Amino acid sequence: MTATSTRLGRRRLGISGRRRPPRDVPPRTALRAGVVVYIARHAADAGLTPARVAARFGVSPRTLSRAFARTALDVPGHIAHARLDLALEALRDARLAHLDDDAVAARCGYRSATGLRCAVVAATGMSPAGYRGLVLDGPRQGSGAPA
């Protein structure tokens, strides 16, 4: 059997000559998915940076940035969002009500209580203490907020 007849036979049978099977998921999509999961799992680490994430996945920071170029959030945005989720969850948890802003900040990956306060105010329009009071105690009578 000649090489030509083998190729023609493969074509008729629908067998390609590729050595690797086609990928179901584009590489950038797979990278993004892995990075988002990694960030969610490690958001509480104050040392989590885009450069560290890139090193963990064996790509350059620029390659990592390009992978998120046409998405709603870039890597720093995903880190900030994951930390904010942790912070709001901690502020809603009655078991953690004894923690001050510095302790919540450290627990959620912020380098300082100021970073925590800025993120919570930007997301909720109120301070961490105000948000915690609202979700744990409910709206106060006469505050104008619906009961």
Q: Evaluate if residue 105 carries a pLDDT over 60.
A: yes
Q: When comparing pLDDT for 119 and 2, which is higher?
A: 119
**98-110 mean pLDDT:** 96
For the chain, the domain total comes to 1
Arithmetic mean of pLDDT over the chain:
85
Measured distance CA(42)–CA(35) in Å, rounded: 10
Q: How confident is the model at residue 46 (pLDDT cuts 50, 70, 90)?
A: very high
Q: Which pair of structure tokens corresponds to residue 67?
A: 């992978």
Radius of gyration in angstroms for the set of CA atoms belonging to the chain, rounded to a whole number = 24
Tell me, what CATH number does 75's domain have?
1.10.10.60
What pLDDT is attached to residue 39? 97
Question: Is there a contact between 43 and 109 (Cβ–Cβ < 8 Å)?
Answer: yes
Q: Evaluate if residue 121 carries a pLDDT over 90.
A: yes
**78-96 mean pLDDT:** 97
For residue 110, the surrounding DSSP H or E stretch is: none
Is residue 73 situated within a structural domain? yes
Is residue 64 situated within a structural domain? yes
**80-94 mean pLDDT:** 97
What pLDDT is attached to residue 23? 58
Is residue 110 situated within a structural domain? yes
Q: Evaluate if residue 68 carries a pLDDT over 80.
A: yes
Q: Evaluate if residue 6 carries a pLDDT over 60.
A: no
**59-77 mean pLDDT:** 94
Is residue 142 situated within a structural domain? no
Q: Evaluate if residue 128 carries a pLDDT over 50.
A: yes
Measured distance CA(68)–CA(39) in Å, rounded: 14
Is residue 11 situated within a structural domain? no
What pLDDT is attached to residue 137? 83
Question: Is there a contact between 81 and 45 (Cβ–Cβ < 8 Å)?
Answer: no
pTM: 0.75
Range of the domain at 84: 24-136
Is residue 122 situated within a structural domain? yes
Measured distance CA(32)–CA(127) in Å, rounded: 32
Is residue 144 situated within a structural domain? no
